[in-house]
Amino acid sequence: MAAALRVAAAGARLSVLASGLRAAVRSLCSQATSVNERIENKRRTALLGGGQRRIDAQHKRGKLTARERISLLLDPGSFVESDMFVEHRCADFGMAADKNKFPGDSVVTGRGRINGRLVYVFSQQIIGWAQWLPLVISALWEAEDFTVFGGSLSGAHAQKICKIMDQAITVGAPVIGLNDSGGARIQEGVESLAGYADIFLRNVTASGVIPQISLIMGPCAGGAVYSPALTDFTFMVKDTSYLFITGPDVVKSVTNEDVTQEELGGAKTHTTMSGVAHRAFENDVDALCNLRDFFNYLPLSSQDPAPIRECHDPSDRLVPELDTIVPLESTKAYNMVDIIHSVVDEREFFEIMPNYAKNIIVGFARMNGRTVGIVGNQPKVASGCLDINSSVKGARFVRFCDAFNIPLITFVDVPGFLPGTAQEYGGIIRHGAKLLYAFAEATVPKVTVITRKAYGGAYDVMSSKHLCGDTNYAWPTAEIAVMGAKGAVEIIFKGHENVEAAQAEYIEKFANPFPAAVRGFVDDIIQPSSTRARICCDLDVLASKKVQRPWRKHANIPL
Amino acid sequence: RQCLMVSRNLGSVGYDPNEKTFDKILIANRGEIACRVIRTCKKMGIKTVAIHSDVDASSVHVKMADEAVCVGPAPTSKSYLNMDAIMEAIKKTRAQAVHPGYGFLSENKEFARCLAAEDVVFIGPDTHAIQAMGDKIESKLLAKKAEVNTIPGFDGVVKDAEEAVRIAREIGYPVMIKASAGGGGKGMRIAWDDEETRDGFRLSSQEAASSFGDDRLLIEKFIDNPRHIEIQVLGDKHGNALWLNERECSIQRRNQKVVEEAPSIFLDAETRRAMGEQAVALARAVKYSSAGTVEFLVDSKKNFYFLEMNTRLQVRVDSGIQPGSDISIYYDPMISKLITYGSDRTEALKRMADALDNYVIRGVTHNIALLREVIINSRFVKGDISTKFLSDVYPDGFKGHMLTKSEKNQLLAIASSLFVAFQLRAQHFQENSRMPVIKPDIANWELSVKLHDKVHTVVASNNGSMFSVEVDGSKLNVTSTWNLASPLLSVSVDGTQRTVQCLSREAGGNMSIQFLGTVYKVNILTRLAAELNKFMLEKVTEDTSSVLRSPMPGVVVAVSVKPGDAVAEGQEICVIEAMKMQNSMTAGKTGTVKSVHCQAGDTVGEGDLLVELE
């Protein structure tokens, strides 16, 4: 191709020469035209993906094509594509034939902008592999619908993804992957597996450097699942996306379990049971609109501060309803999400994993325009206790915020860790340690508000002063103690007659914010209605917070 | 629900600051009424004692008062009607007098007697008048004696459902069944045949028992299509009585006043005087020595009938709640009351519409949309109303404001401008020097806006605070401050001022906008997204006719089906008591009961599954 271009340039120069040379020039020019035509043809084929028939089939399933998805995700006109001319290099099984080569292979890659901010994108696509189907039927992943074998991962496909990931790391901008792939391309054998590993390596290298987001928009099975698993956030599209190591047929043959694709690895499974995915959206359009919304919360890289977006909500706004939100009876539940909504800017809260381990709430919001990470115990679910799943959910979120300079606001109403054999056998000790570790390790600004209970070890864990909380507040309803009055009295006054009086004494002494406040474990006891104003003010001051840690290769979180 | 009042004249009552007053009084009421009394006491330098139930411990009236005493758990019969506990509170706080507000114990002769025995002053009419007027049966007999026009009916207590049917037949349908001790529409039902009489008798006596602790009922002729007009009277201890002007209270829902207006545009001077004179005659007959209200039903021929006498006056925006207050299912559903006045009716109505647009209510369902619709309804504006107004105008229930074409264009233009304003704001970051933000340059936003299942093509372009919007070909200019955090947005559309509220907004394009009192759901997508959205598959939605969900928080009073029962569409399945009203929940289709998820006594939340049908 380089030769052809040189020839074309030469032709242009020659065209101004004397008429005697004209005949020779004419033959060179015609060669140049044919290169231009080839470029055009390749581009046209690449833009059409797998052809109209494939596009229609994709639409019929309620799914968009790779390019349509990119056009919705990015600002209009901002997409700059790379590697449109890349083709696979496999020669076996007749794959070398021109009819089996598609410019761009099976993934669209490039960069673009979301609300003006730079992002790198890859979008796997289904193209016309119809001719190959007989070859692929014996694949490790078996789908009822053959067409999903499109988007399979070739060496060339992986190389394209790696190229944009390398660039994203170099310039410091997030990567978004739109996954819709049939898995490894069997015809390529080990080259395809190598391709996966190349991507995994880059996912790990980029981890904590740039935000990485996966949106699963179709099947994603076998080795392919580990790339989303390594990224910071995995979102899914309801009813059309699946994530699993092996499909239902393999499950049936190995474990004799009968399970559908949806039950095994659908959006509901992963957002409610496994915790693999962080959120699910209604369809492609809804998912991409939400992804744009979500992207606005993130800094571009670990070198950038949390973004500050224009804010119309006054930072000193008082929130009178908070003064009565905590019920008088300490056994009565309330919804912590209500508190979060009324404290943050414009009631906007992008919740992460809203349907998994619901006893803890995590998500992004803004305070006076600046992105913050919110962590809160949810008294409405399991009294807001900490258990294995909620600890892991909280820990991963806290670590993301810390890696990307997003301040943490923690709302505490926690009665303790959940007791029982299920939790102990499941390893609540090491899992609970993750949340403790994450909060202790975090050096971003940390503001904590104890709304009601902060009991036992869970008090320490929930971004307490002792773990270097920058500002720790208690509401007048706060009770900071080793445990609730009843349990404490049963231990302290075992065998005593006047248990009720003892209990009353305990409540008087400990079921209030004073024991912590006199020791400086909370910085102030604040009127709940002033919470927003106080936090906004603190975050302004804490923006310049700097913490030095001793050198180490990397920390060793109890995984 | 709000009560709302349109008034042209609003007088204020002054008092002599040198007059001797009490040092401390107890207010035996709650909510907005108690707040009003406390406010007046503060102005007069009188200390106040509030009483409250468990659930009201942090309500506004408790905070406002100097002292507060808890008189029992949530049900009114155990707290606000608990005379022993209230008498105890009076003794404990040494209050010299009790202001009963209205409702609750305000018309309870027993309470007035207890107070007299303890030498505590009852602020309000004396026991005799309460006794006479507090009981509908007694008051009707008294009215008859004072030669006041009364409604034909049965003046005794009805024993059971069968007797109710017999009496109803005698009087002739339609009949009104009502609680003898009742008021405020509770325990009141209209019956058009024997069947409805039996049902009405059962429901009314249950309601009467739970609300007033007295299940006695009476039956009288139901005056069809009447107006409800009240006359204010004032009496003193020397037997003087006079009448003030009337208030038209015909716009009612379930016999609760929704809109009041003074003066009534229906009455002529002669009828007004006749009604006033009868009202005064009644006040004299009961030796009435306070301010009160005599209620009349007026038929289309201006015949009027005495309905009842309330030993109280009503007034002002009042509200007994503030952000964070619980609105309990145990008490009266009135949350706020709005009064506007003007030099003429048109002005008063215009002000009311504006004021309603400025109510910001979140977290509870409310009737702003209905109120706003009533006051702009052509029949209401003409004055052609009766107590049946709401059921006549909205036979299938109120479904929200019907947009005219130009209103629809305005709504679409405002919604589209809001959408673009949000989109533009999303690109406004505090400049981050490491990597510049390069905003997309979009001169014309091509949008596709869905409203009521219809898709409209909109092109919007922005120039500072002004949006030029083309909706289905017609051009509009929309100007506002575009403060996207403010709950209220004042917008000018081609010079017309509108106040809108954006209640919710989702990234996927769904937006709820309150416009002209009604909340509209729109979906806004860019043209590209809308084109691609066509390929998205319809999601399977739950068939709501086969599930019965609780429409509001409340208590299940009775469940009349069990799994396997065959039910007909419209058949009663269970009864939920909420806001002190019993609501009959009926089957949405004919079928078999699959499962029952509630039992009598359960407390249910809004949207809770009650019964599933097959």
Which comes out higher in pLDDT, residue B461 or A183?
B461
The verdict on a CB contact (< 8 Å) between A63 and B509 is: no
CATH match for B405-428+441-534 among 3.40.50.9100, 3.30.700.30, 3.40.50.300, 3.40.47.10 = 3.30.700.30
Do A162 and A222 fall within a single domain? yes
Å between A192 CA and nearest CA of chain B: 32
Do A271 and A387 fall within a single domain? no
Size of chain A in residues? 559
Average pLDDT, chain B: 83
Local structure of A129: helix, strand or coil = coil
- Residues on chain B touching A68 (C-beta within 8 angstroms): 532
The verdict on a CB contact (< 8 Å) between A77 and B440 is: yes
Cα(A87)–Cα(B474) distance, integer angstroms: 50
Do A377 and A526 fall within a single domain? yes
- Residues on chain A touching B541 (C-beta within 8 angstroms): none
| Active-site entry in A11, A222, A266, A432 | A222
Do A274 and A388 fall within a single domain? no
Classify residue A478 by its DSSP letter: -
Q: Tell me the whole-structure pTM to 2 decimals.
A: 0.80
Do A229 and A346 fall within a single domain? no
Which has the closest alpha carbon to A153: A90, A75, A77, A215? A90
- Residues on chain A touching B435 (C-beta within 8 angstroms): 117-118, 171-173, 300, 304
Domain boundary among A296, A330, A351: A296
Domain with CATH 2.40.50.100 in chain B: 547-613
Q: pLDDT per residue over B150-196, tens digit each?
A: 887 776 778 888 888 888 888 878 888 888 776 656 678 888 888 88
- Residues on chain A touching B440 (C-beta within 8 angstroms): 75-78, 113, 116
Mean pLDDT over B199-228 rounds to 81
Backbone torsion region of residue B608, taken as left when φ is above 0, otherwise alpha when ψ lies between -120 and 50, otherwise beta? beta
Do A76 and A179 fall within a single domain? yes
Domain assignment of residue A508, yes or no: no
* Both structure tokens of A428: 């609540």
Do A222 and A103 fall within a single domain? yes
Facing residue for A304 by CB, picked from B428, B432, B438: B432
Q: Is A416 part of the annotated catalytic residue set? A: no
Cα(A73)–Cα(A473) distance, integer angstroms: 40
Q: pLDDT per residue over B131-151, tens digit each?
A: 667 676 778 788 888 888 888
* Structural class in CATH, domain B547-613: mainly beta
Local structure of B410: helix, strand or coil = helix
Domain of A345: which CATH number?
3.90.226.10
Cα(A106)–Cα(A190) distance, integer angstroms: 18
Domain with CATH 3.40.50.20 in chain B: 24-123
If 0-12 CB within 10 Å is exposed, 13-18 middle and 19+ buried, where does residue B34 land? Answer: buried
pLDDT at A1: 42
With residue A418 as reference, give the H or E element that holds it.
none
Which residue of B535, B537, B538, B603 is the best one to mutate when testing the A interface, meaning the one whose CB has the most A CBs within 10 A? B535
B539 interfacial to chain A (CB closer than 8 Å):
yes
Chunked into runs of 10 residues, chain A (559 residues) has average pLDDT values of: 45 45 54 80 78 83 92 96 81 63 78 96 67 33 35 78 96 95 70 88 97 94 89 96 90 91 93 96 96 97 94 94 86 90 96 95 97 95 92 98 98 93 94 97 97 94 96 95 82 78 84 92 96 97 93 93
Residue of A nearest to B536 (CA): A62
Cα(B168)–Cα(B178) distance, integer angstroms: 12
pLDDT at A15: 44
Residue of B nearest to A240 (CA): B537
Domain boundary among A256, A280, A296: A296
Number of structural domains found in chain A: 2
Mean pLDDT over B39-47 rounds to 88
Cα(A188)–Cα(B328) distance, integer angstroms: 68
Do A189 and A98 fall within a single domain? yes
What architecture is domain B155-221? 2-Layer Sandwich (3.30)
Domain assignment of residue A357, yes or no: yes
The verdict on a CB contact (< 8 Å) between A285 and B434 is: no
Residue with tokens 């009353």: A504
Domain assignment of residue A187, yes or no: yes
pLDDT at B314: 46
The verdict on a CB contact (< 8 Å) between A63 and B440 is: no
Do A248 and A284 fall within a single domain? yes
Domain assignment of residue A559, yes or no: no
CATH match for B24-123 among 3.40.50.970, 3.40.50.300, 3.40.50.20, 3.50.30.20 = 3.40.50.20
pLDDT at A184: 65
Do A275 and A379 fall within a single domain? no
Domain with CATH 3.30.1490.20 in chain B: 155-221
Domain assignment of residue A24, yes or no: no
User: Hey, which bits of A150-231 come out as E strands?
Assistant: 175-179, 212-216, 219-221
Alpha helices for B18-175 (secondary structure H): 31-44, 60-64, 83-93, 109-117, 127-134, 136-145, 161-171
Mean pLDDT over B359-365 rounds to 78
With residue B599 as reference, give the H or E element that holds it.
none
Residue of B nearest to A305 (CA): B432
Cα(A304)–Cα(A299) distance, integer angstroms: 6
Local structure of B372: helix, strand or coil = helix
pLDDT at A155: 80
> What are residue B555's DSSP bridge partners?
B577, B603
Q: Which residues have C-beta within 8 Å of that of residue B600, sequence separation ≥ 6? A: B556, B557, B558, B559
- Residues on chain A touching B485 (C-beta within 8 angstroms): 311-314, 345-346
Domain with CATH 3.30.470.20 in chain B: 227-325+336-393
Q: What is the dihedral of CA B206, B211, B212, B216, to 10 degrees?
A: -20
Contacts 24+ apart (CB under 8 A), B113-118: B114/B83, B114/B87, B115/B87, B115/B90, B118/B87, B118/B90, B118/B91
Facing residue for B57 by CB, picked from A61, A281, A328: A328
> What are residue A309's DSSP bridge partners?
B429
pLDDT at A40: 87
Catalytic machinery residues of B: 308
Cα(A6)–Cα(A20) distance, integer angstroms: 22
Domain assignment of residue A486, yes or no: no
* Both structure tokens of A432: 């609970």
Q: Which residues have C-beta within 8 Å of that of residue A511, sequence separation ≥ 6? A: A330, A479, A481, A485
Cα(A472)–Cα(A476) distance, integer angstroms: 13
Neighbours of A134 (CB within 10 A): 10
Name the CATH superfamily for B227-325+336-393. Answer: ATP-grasp fold, B domain (3.30.470.20)
Do A279 and A336 fall within a single domain? no
With residue B564 as reference, give the H or E element that holds it.
none
Cα(A243)–Cα(B561) distance, integer angstroms: 44
Å between A283 CA and nearest CA of chain B: 7
Classify residue A358 by its DSSP letter: T
- Residues on chain B touching A123 (C-beta within 8 angstroms): none
Confirm whether the ipTM is greater than 0.85. Answer: yes
Cα(B97)–Cα(B121) distance, integer angstroms: 4
Q: Which domain holds residue A538?
A: 320-478+522-542
Local structure of B519: helix, strand or coil = strand
Question: Got the DSSP string for A58-98?
Answer: HHHTT---HHHHHHHHSPTT--EEE-TT------GGGTTSG
Q: pLDDT per residue over B488-521, tens digit each?
A: 999 999 999 999 999 999 999 999 999 999 999 9
